[in-house]
Structure 1
């Protein structure tokens, strides 16, 4: 039996079977051999199960789990619960990784708790421009809290995490921005880390990506802020609250300006995502005053 550290790869899947072969092939092609890959089918209505079972039959290191639909966070948590590795690699089923990602990371397993690579965007046809988040500032709780989505935009499959430092699972109430919260929890544990400029993660761009739904992302950003205020204890929270209050007020004003032509009595407007989002923001602001 290999004495190399075991890496557990967690692949949540929902209704994207067309990408799963390419994703899992990038795991199978790893030059570092001691890994397991847990494929979590989150109640997909497409042929995800057929594809996943094919891979589980091809190589016993692939393990298949079906669960009722609960969202991305729920699927990742299910994979974490089944994982046996000392290291965790999250990999969404529409993305992929470079063949030497695990081998390169293993050079730091004795000295680090978190190994982060750079990444590159790609679509159905080609690799796109480099997307470099490389930063000079310390990877600290405060820096990440105030600069997420700006200086810190790190797809989660860029990282390999030491499992023993994962103290909190993904918040299953969040349908987006769950990575932000997970990163904050992990960074609070003061991991020894390294950030490399090697492009070892590939992030797929496609029209069905939820990141293209601006209102949806804003709604979940508000939920993430509520979570941070409720669950984290930090000397920086008061400053953070003041910052997001200002941002939210500005967002409301912009949304109001762009929707002045809509009547407040219009039932379609009241049922819209904008109306729901605006109401949640006002509630959040009133609670934090």
Structure 2
């Protein structure tokens, strides 16, 4: 079998951690390891992790001084033995068949870079988490894949891992752009295999507009060529859709103007 490494960073999420780890233990796919990364958490993460290490030797535990989510994921992936990586936040869960279904797809398509699935919310909000179908060009505008997509460790290594400068979130969006912008296939399973916990306060909800802007600017600086080219592609596609997309076309032109003005000092379109 092909080994997969499931990386579970934890910071102040010890109360939820057993639910995430149980969903790992319940996998029908058996060739896995699960690396719990204590990101300098002040709660009882170490004690909780210790119980699971005793329960099954496929669980592993490491500690680092608090460095943020990207740093914690990188620390776990660095020591991972699996060919494939599955990041799992400590407050989320996966279905029992997620890994086995994903590995089957990777075996079918050697050009496949990412496998993900349908998602469902639970906690303070319930119901299907509706995300637009993956499209490489649209990836430059918004994230289309949640954090727990499955990919090869070699691709993580190729792009230098998760960007530790992304301390204010959007690290998943930047990472997907990094590994996918030069090509490769993406497949979404037609099954709900990921369960996203919605809480009243989470990392993304507590960010202010300035912090989000900092994260977006990092993405734009790193991937400006891809973003500009992709927006031009979208504009060409939208222009063929006639008036139905007139408002969106103008919006996309506005985005292009913002990007070109920011990085090159000129605007492409006049309204």
**TM-score w.r.t. length of structure 1:** 0.75
Match of 2:49 in 1: 52
Using the TM superposition, give the Cα deviation of residue 232 of structure 1 relative to its aligned residue in structure 2, in angstroms.
2.6
Contact 1:119 1:203 in 2 (8 A): yes
Within 1, Cα distance between the matches of 2:187 and 2:4?
18
Using the TM superposition, give the Cα deviation of residue 235 of structure 1 relative to its aligned residue in structure 2, in angstroms.
5.4
Using the TM superposition, give the Cα deviation of residue 214 of structure 1 relative to its aligned residue in structure 2, in angstroms.
4.8
Within 1, Cα distance between the matches of 2:101 and 2:129?
20
Q: Which moved more, 1:188-197 or 1:71-80?
A: 188-197
Q: Which moved more, 1:203-212 or 1:72-81?
A: 203-212
Using the TM superposition, give the Cα deviation of residue 219 of structure 1 relative to its aligned residue in structure 2, in angstroms.
2.9
Alpha-carbon spacing, 1:46–1:214, altered in 2? closer, same or farther (3 Å): closer
Within 1, Cα distance between the matches of 2:215 and 2:65?
24
Using the TM superposition, give the Cα deviation of residue 198 of structure 1 relative to its aligned residue in structure 2, in angstroms.
0.9
Alpha-carbon spacing, 1:244–1:41, altered in 2? closer, same or farther (3 Å): farther
- Provide runs of 4+ in structure 1 moved above 4 Å: 238-242, 244-247, 285-288
Alignment match of 2:165 (pick from 166, 169, 173): 173
Alignment match of 1:6 (pick from 3, 7, 13): 3
Within 2, Cα distance between the matches of 1:241 and 1:86?
41
Match of 1:183 in 2: 176
Within 2, Cα distance between the matches of 1:106 and 1:25?
20
Alpha-carbon spacing, 1:156–1:144, altered in 2? closer, same or farther (3 Å): same
Residue ranges of structure 2 left out of the alignment (5+ in a row): 232-251, 266-271
Using the TM superposition, give the Cα deviation of residue 130 of structure 1 relative to its aligned residue in structure 2, in angstroms.
1.0
Q: Which moved more, 1:236-245 or 1:179-188?
A: 236-245
Using the TM superposition, give the Cα deviation of residue 139 of structure 1 relative to its aligned residue in structure 2, in angstroms.
2.7
Match of 1:243 in 2: 255
Using the TM superposition, give the Cα deviation of residue 210 of structure 1 relative to its aligned residue in structure 2, in angstroms.
1.9
Within 2, Cα distance between the matches of 1:132 and 1:174?
25
Alpha-carbon spacing, 1:288–1:50, altered in 2? closer, same or farther (3 Å): farther
Using the TM superposition, give the Cα deviation of residue 206 of structure 1 relative to its aligned residue in structure 2, in angstroms.
0.9
Alpha-carbon spacing, 1:214–1:81, altered in 2? closer, same or farther (3 Å): closer
Alpha-carbon spacing, 1:288–1:17, altered in 2? closer, same or farther (3 Å): farther
**TM-score w.r.t. length of structure 2:** 0.80
Within 1, Cα distance between the matches of 2:140 and 2:220?
11
Matched residue of 1:210: which SS? coil
Pairing 1:62-211 to 2, within 5 Å after superposition: 62-110=59-107, 111=109, 112-123=112-123, 128-135=126-133, 139-140=135-136, 142-146=137-141, 148-149=142-143, 152=144, 154-157=145-148, 159-166=149-156, 167-168=158-159, 169-175=161-167, 176-211=169-204
Within 1, Cα distance between the matches of 2:212 and 2:257?
13
Within 1, Cα distance between the matches of 2:51 and 2:217?
42
Aligned residues: 237
Alpha-carbon spacing, 1:134–1:197, altered in 2? closer, same or farther (3 Å): farther
Matched residue of 1:204: which SS? strand
Within 2, Cα distance between the matches of 1:43 and 1:223?
24
